[in-house]
Amino acid sequence: MTEYTCIDSFCGAEGLGLGLQQAGFRILSSFDIDPLCIETIRKNKKYFDHPAITADIADMLNGVLLRNCHLKRGELFLLAGGPPCQGFSVQRRGEDADARNELVLKYGRLVDEIFPKYFVMENVTGLAGKRGKTILQQLIEEVESIGYHVHYKLLDAQDFGVPQRRKRYIIIGQRADIGDNYRYPQPVSARCTVRDAIGYLPEPPQDGSDHPDFSLHRRDRLSALNLERIRAIKEGQGRDDLPDALLAACHRVDSSLIGFRSVYGRMSWDDVAPTITAGFDSFTRGKFGHPTQDRSISLREGALLQTFPADFQFVGNKVEIARQIGNAVPPLMAKFIGRSIIDSYREAIGEHVI
């Protein structure tokens, strides 16, 4: 019986790894350059028992990762990872050149060294845009030259039961000696909403402390002006619905010209959430206000909208935890991707797939 082994590179808070585990993978090892992410993984012993180390991908090349995992080239089933994507983000300003973009090509080198049956890479929509398409094409050409069939497709997390709009490119490599039959998961018919995900939570304490029954479920302190702003808008509304007197000076130009339509916004109970970003802990940065309560959503609510378990723990201060949550692959989406990889393999070797 095939063992679906996996190494998770650029693992972050292990959202991708958690979903892959749920799909049937066994994680042998994971690494990330951020020590707080590694502490988060180690703190969640209920979910993870694999070694997780703080390391840059450069530290894992030249056979180091293979030796650490006691593997030979070609033995691993799946190499997973999401190289940091800020360099490709359409929201980033500045020069197109960004040192972080080179991490995608180092990931390609790691694929070559490990030579897994499959690899998966997640990245932002900008990867196939002006900033990222050259790097993406180079990666594809390099891994095809060593014996992979490569598929890439823009998936939206809300199509897979995640209560959030979140479009990301999912790049799948299938080793040519296995076949070229990979198919992406089919969207599910049922949609999960903000109400489904966080509607059961009680209101957090007024004093800013954690709710006694839900860790990280606490309210952020709002300035008097921001409290006025959030009280002036209703469920689903944003900065376009604020009275002129409450608009920031930089927002007095119509949003159709400068964008940022969703800042100072509230979520809608019966819709999906906007993309949970690293800045979701403040409604000044997006439609991150609670649908009806006069506050930004809590860290716990953000984690639930990302489909982390309600008891999943995170290490760090508020900003650091929000970054870990916002940068993660939603575990539920990762589970669908993992199942699609296993199904394609079983089909390729002639096993019956239900």
Decide if 119 contacts 142 (C-beta within 8 A): no
Going by pLDDT thresholds of 50, 70 and 90, the confidence category of residue 257 is very low
Q: Once rounded to an integer, what is the mean pLDDT over residues 199-217? A: 97
- Residue 91 pLDDT > 50: no
* Rounded Cα–Cα distance for residues 220 and 20 (Å): 33
* Rounded Cα–Cα distance for residues 219 and 1 (Å): 49
Residue-averaged pLDDT of the chain: 91
Inter-CA distances, 77 with 11, 71, 241, Å: 17, 11, 51
Q: Encode pLDDT of 71-88 as tens digits.
A: 999 999 999 998 885 555
Q: Encode pLDDT of 132-180 as tens digits.
A: 788 889 999 999 999 999 999 999 999 999 999 999 999 999 999 999 9
Going by pLDDT thresholds of 50, 70 and 90, the confidence category of residue 214 is very high
Q: Once rounded to an integer, what is the mean pLDDT over residues 318-339? A: 98
pLDDT at residue number 125: 82
* Choice among 98-112, 224-238, 289-303, 324-338 with the minimum mean pLDDT: 98-112
Ramachandran angles phi, psi of 224, nearest 5°: -60, -40
* Rounded Cα–Cα distance for residues 211 and 209 (Å): 6
In CATH, what is the architecture of 5-190+329-348?
3-Layer(aba) Sandwich (3.40)
Decide if 139 contacts 108 (C-beta within 8 A): yes
How deeply is 350 buried, as exposed, middle or buried, from its count of CB atoms within 10 A (0-12, 13-18, 19+)? exposed
For the chain, give every domain's residue range: 5-190+329-348
Rg value, the chain, Cα: 21
pLDDT at residue number 250: 64
pTM of the model: 0.92
- Residue 97 pLDDT > 60: no
Q: Which of 6, 11, 37, 85 is catalytic?
A: 85
> Over pLDDT 70: what percentage of the chain?
90
Going by pLDDT thresholds of 50, 70 and 90, the confidence category of residue 258 is very low
Q: Can you state the percent helix, strand and coil of the chain, rounding each to 5?
A: 35, 15, 50
Decide if 223 contacts 217 (C-beta within 8 A): no
Among all chains, which residue has been given the structure tokens 């599910």? 188
Tokens encoding 123 = 């990245």
The amino acid present at 2, given as its one-letter code, is T
Q: Reply yes or no on whether 250 is catalytic.
A: no
- Residue 251 pLDDT > 90: no
pLDDT at residue number 259: 45
Q: Which of 158, 80, 116, 165 is nearest to 338 (CA)?
A: 80
- Residue 67 pLDDT > 50: yes
